[in-house]
Chains A and B, each alone.
Chain A
Amino acid sequence: MLSRMCGGFGMLGLASALGSPIPAHFAPRAKRVIFLFLNGGPSHVDTFDPKPALAKNEGKQPEGNLFKQAKGNGFMPSPFAFKSCGQSGIEVCETLPHLGAIIDDCCIIRSMHTDVPNHEPALLQMHTGNVQPIRPSLGSWLLYGLGNENENLPGYVVLRPTPKIVVGPALWSNSFLPAEYQATSVITSDMNVEKLVANIRNPHITPGEQREQLDVLGELNRMHLSARNGDAELNGQIKTMETAFRMQSAAMETFDISREPASVRARYGETPFARSCLLARRLAEAGVRCTTVYYTSSDNQPWDTHNNHNERHPKLCADAGKAAAALISDLKQRGLLEDTLVVFSGEFGRTPYSENKDKTKAGRDHHHTAFSTLLAGGGVRGGYVHGATDELGMNAVDKPVHVHDLHATMLHLLGLDHERLTYRYAGRDFRLTDVHGHVVRDIIA
């Protein structure tokens, strides 16, 4: 009861014999997830939610029930044009030409909303379903529900270009789920493999020497085991040591993006986020269940454009859009998109109105009652727009999708019923979606 033998990151050892700990609730559309997270909150009215009415209402102060009083110069139209893209004709901002080009593979939810327009609670809600740091993350839930696909690699990998990130590790916490469902966090500022993964190699001895060490260690452990009537847990330790040994070479190879041809690297771009996206593709290919790529920089949360929005936002879009589009088409080319769910989103959107008086430095504030999320692959309906905001982009009005609904839908695509994926803790059964969430069936192909 207390000890559970597990030989791997996900569910190896005992559990691997059984597949995953929980039988799939229904046939999965996706096997893995890549979450491209835009820290700080991108502006929906400058990306996927065109609002021509903002021009007519420019300068008018927003009315109604606002989270905080608007102090800027009223409604602020996007200075960028929206273009009808692909067969589907979905309108996408010109700052995202690469995503526009593959929009027929993508689904845009324009009616997202979350509970709190502050980074910490909104980040936590998007990652764990709860606004306090006391619940397991989506990735840990997935690992718990599905187990690992590749026993030589971690099942849940977090990639971030900077060590600093708002909220921090609580975003990928396994919380009360057992430690085997924890994320492996990788800082991608230096893509040198040995710097990426802690303890992945012993730089002081030769691989041959380490193999000899392992041979002696294995033999000693087996003698120890046979004197103890073949204790299954001890046997699990022996197997895991061998897995770790193999993981060194598997990880060294998988995490090494320098093995990619220059042409592929160029398609993604040469930025920290782009390189992380490329690494995410390699991980997906190798069977990593869940990868989160964060868009962080020395700026901490670059998408948090409280000032100079019109200057900063398009630059971020250029980088993130290019890398995300490259990732999606790369996955497609390799036949991986059909069972890899890609999500491209921030924790909330940005106000359709400006937040500071100085027009030359105008910014947009946090906005939680409406934002856009892009999904691709993994059974998602391509070339489809779900839901709508009002004409000024203030509130999700048509088919609103709460973060809980997004979670329920993601789990559904992975073959898990969000109401049945439960873990008994502290006397009750916990869920990622708590007591909320509806599967958004319209976005499923």
Chain B
Amino acid sequence: MMTILNSRKFSVAACIAAIVAGTVAAAEDPLAQYEREVRPILEQTCFKCHGAEKQKGGLRLDQKEGMLGGGDSGEPAVVRGKSAESHLIKLVTSTNPDEVMPQKAERLKPEQVAILKSWIDRGAHFPESGASADTSTSRRGITDADRQFWSFVPLRRTTPEIPADAKWPRKPLDRFILAKLTARGLSPSAEASRAVLARRLTFDLTGLPPTPEEIESFVADTDAGADERLVDRLLASPRFGERMASLWLPLARYAEDQAHQVGDDTKFFYPNAYKYREWVVGAFNRDLPYDQFIKLQLAADKIAPDELAALGFLGLGPKYYNRNRIEVMADEWEDRVDTVSRTMLGLTVACARCHDHKFDPISTDDYYALAGVFASTRMVNKTPDGRIEKENAKAQQMDPTVMHVVEDGDVQNLNVFIRGNAQRKGPVVERRFPQVLCGPETVAFREGSGRRELAEAIASAKNPLTARVMVNRVWGLLFGRPLVATPSNFGHSGVLPTHPELLDDLAARFIEGGWSVKALVREITLSATYRQVADSDAGKAGRDSDNALLWRMNRRRLTVEQWRDAVLFASGELNEGTGGASKELGDAGNLRRTLYARISRLKLDDLLIQFDYPDANVHAERRSVTTTPIQKLFMLNSPFMQRRASVFSARLQGMAESDDARVTAAYRILFGRDPVSRELDMALGFLRKPNASDVTRWEQYAQILLASNEMLYVD
């Protein structure tokens, strides 16, 4: 029946085509018709957006599979034998300008439409394309060239060429810096003063300023090894872990709640999230080797059950609204893949959720191989001794030691979701590590969800990315500018390292030295590079305006944590207690370090938002550094600043009898130096003015200093 109908239709259509196009289409071999008439039209008007290069709307028209399978809409472009039902014809003849195809070329002429119709009605014969099209989106194989990209090749140690008698280097890393500077006709800047160094080191390693006494004793310590003694003292301080946690937590998109809240339902909040923060602080303080640090955050339940809190890295991830839907869970898996791959590998694997990565050798198979690990993992409330609490339990009813962590769930391999659509299932992919980071053979994960195997693959000394990425982050923390300007993207769309040999040398020695973060920080902060002044030089800036080659130190704006802590430190109010539950930063009585603020996905504290603390809904590659009037209004008018100014002023009154001496004390506390005479004169002039309000001139002056640029920057 169908055949008869079809053939009848065919004959009519073919006649029309023959008349309109002036051909003998009806008699021609249908494949030849495609090649001679149809392909040129498609090539001219369709393939640019729906061909090998681009597949807009998921549609590829240069292959049979795409023609017959259709794109994202699910409607086949062509229904064989039925031009009237073929979407292709509907679109090329549409009168709706938003719909008509082609969108970016001239409208098809009636005779061209007739050719297409005729070809469809004759059965839409298409040459065998060989390659399978849209049913499996993963086409990428790994080539040798892929493996040769700078960040995938094994770490290489090299010896920079510098004169044998070069005096400047203090640490191995300096030789790499010097070699580049020399090659570009640049030279290092002078060494910063000891007072500046003390302030720089103390802010960098503890997040707090030094006391005037600490500066004094460092300046006075002229014995050999004074620098080492200071750095070692700071590294041994519990403040070090707090400072490093400020680096790590935004990468882990650490937060204690969800962006969604339906009514008053807070069952997805994580009341004891702070235990993960404590764990991170502690891990840096005890110099937990970085490979262990990673493994525990992904698989502590399988490796070291007494370190369960480490699993907060995964367990505190966002839970989205409507978790019973596969699409929503697919979004959550993407968050896990994204956070793990960017934080630990510097790879944007999540780009391959809907299609092979556009820039990197990461296929959708690679993506679903990783997503499968997280699909096989579930989030649970667990006590340190492994007892599980019900998910829906109210926080108040829960055991106070409970933590939101992960454990293996129903182990499953995922299908590739074609173009990210959970309803269109492609082939099943075994859970495994991305192919480009494996040898020629990939090995499927076999143990439960595969988290331990994933953790070991990431933290393997053979995986060059992990060490490179972490070394680069620490470098960025201490220099204000990482060697790779895209610290979470070491792929093709990222930025190349300014000093690839240096990065490799540090990364190789990082691994050889047992992945010690403290040793890495120690080498960097004791280097000649780090000790340079931050001041610019017109001549050198002319050759390297961004200071990419580090001919000087970078001047850095304090992070919101450093700045708020420093203000509280100056007024003498900072509560330096370590660990414990979070407090709202907005509470007037919160005098704890900013690290211990509650971090919300629903409503991040205003001060944190305003001073560039990143959104905790996603992994934050780095912080933006913005300067806005809202920040200044906070400095000028907020109750917080007024209160600090008042307490700081009172503290100064108690420290000395004369205004002269009090101003000097203020400068020493805040800036680690004495005021110059002009500064002193201005201060005394201001303090002598009668006040019109209830706020004393001393309080007003204290606020000026707290709001100053010198307070906000470290040289």
Contacts and interface: CB of A to CB of B under 8 A. Distances in A.
Nearest to B350: A426
A444 B691 CA distance: 59
Contacts of B359: 427
B618 A427 contact: no
Contact of B493 (A205, A231, A427): A427
A244 B632 CA distance: 6
Nearest to B419: A435
Contacts of A6: 626-628
A4 B637 contact: no
Contacts of B678: 223
Contacts of B603: 168-169
Interface string A324-338: 000000000000000
Given A4-B624, A200-B637, A427 B351 contact: yes
Contacts of B534: 228
Nearest to B712: A237
Interface stretch (A53-61, A207-215, A359-367): A207-215
A133 B637 contact: no
A168 B259 contact: yes
B536 interface: yes
Interface stretch (B6-14, B406-414, B608-616): B608-616
Question: In this complex, which of A178, A180, A241 has the most chain B Cβ atoms within 10 angstroms of its Cβ?
Answer: A241
B320 to A, nearest CB: 6
Given A179-B609, A205-B695, A199 B628 contact: no
Contacts of B612: 179
A276 B700 CA distance: 35
B555 A179 contact: no
A240 B637 contact: no
B349 to A, nearest CB: 9
A424 interface: yes
B535 A427 contact: no
A204 B696 CA distance: 10
B630 A241 contact: no
Interface stretch (B77-85, B484-492, B577-585): B484-492
Given A182-B609, A426-B350, A199 B686 contact: no
B686 A212 contact: yes
B637 to A, nearest CB: 4
Given A220-B704, A399-B96, A427-B351, A167 B260 contact: yes
Nearest to A202: B637
Nearest to B355: A435
A244 B630 CA distance: 7
A186 to B, nearest CB: 12
Interface string B616-630: 011101101111111
Contacts of A173: 615, 617
B642 A202 contact: yes
Contacts of B495: 1
Interface string A1-14: 11111111100010
A118 B321 contact: yes
A134 to B, nearest CB: 5
A247 interface: yes
Contact of A133 (B260, B358, B360, B628): B260
A236 B627 contact: yes
A13 B636 contact: no
Contacts of A13: 627
B629 A441 contact: no
A132 B489 contact: no
B604 interface: yes
Chain B, interface SS category: loop
Interface string A243-274: 11101100000000000000000000000000
Interface string A169-200: 11001111011101010000000000000111
Nearest to A151: B629
B709 interface: yes
B636 A245 contact: yes
B630 A154 contact: yes
Contacts of B622: 2
Contacts of B712: 237
A277 interface: no
A440 B98 contact: yes
A439 interface: yes
Given A132-B331, A179-B624, A200-B633, A428 B704 contact: no
A240 B480 contact: no
Contact of B348 (A169, A199, A426): A426
Interface string A405-445: 10000000000000000001111100000010011111000
A419 B555 CA distance: 37
A405 to B, nearest CB: 7
Nearest to A206: B692
Contacts of B692: 205-206, 208-209
Contacts of B701: 216
B535 to A, nearest CB: 6
Given A426-B351, A428-B348, A199 B97 contact: no
B638 A243 contact: no
B606 A198 contact: yes
B707 interface: yes
Interface in B699-715: 700-701, 703-705, 707-710, 712-713, 715
Nearest to B538: A229
A29 to B, nearest CB: 18
B512 interface: no
A442 B335 CA distance: 39
Contacts of A212: 686, 689, 700
A179 B322 contact: no
B64 interface: no
A178 to B, nearest CB: 4
A212 B700 CA distance: 10
Contacts of B710: 220-221, 224
Contacts of A424: 493
Given A2-B622, A426-B350, A8 B704 contact: no
A178 B704 contact: no
Question: In this complex, which of A200, A244, A247 has the most chain B Cβ atoms within 10 angstroms of its Cβ?
Answer: A244
Given A175-B615, A427-B360, 10 more contacts: A116-B322, A167-B259, A170-B260, A182-B609, A204-B693, A204-B695, A233-B557, A240-B631, A244-B631, A427-B351
Interface of A: 1-9, 13, 116, 118, 120-121, 132-134, 154, 166-170, 173-176, 178-180, 182, 184, 198-202, 204-206, 208-210, 212-213, 216-217, 219-221, 223-225, 228-229, 231, 233-234, 236-238, 240-241, 243-245, 247-248, 399, 405, 424-428, 435, 438-442
13 contacts: A2-B625, A3-B557, A3-B625, A7-B627, A166-B262, A179-B628, A213-B704, A220-B704, A223-B678, A234-B555, A241-B632, A245-B632, A427-B348
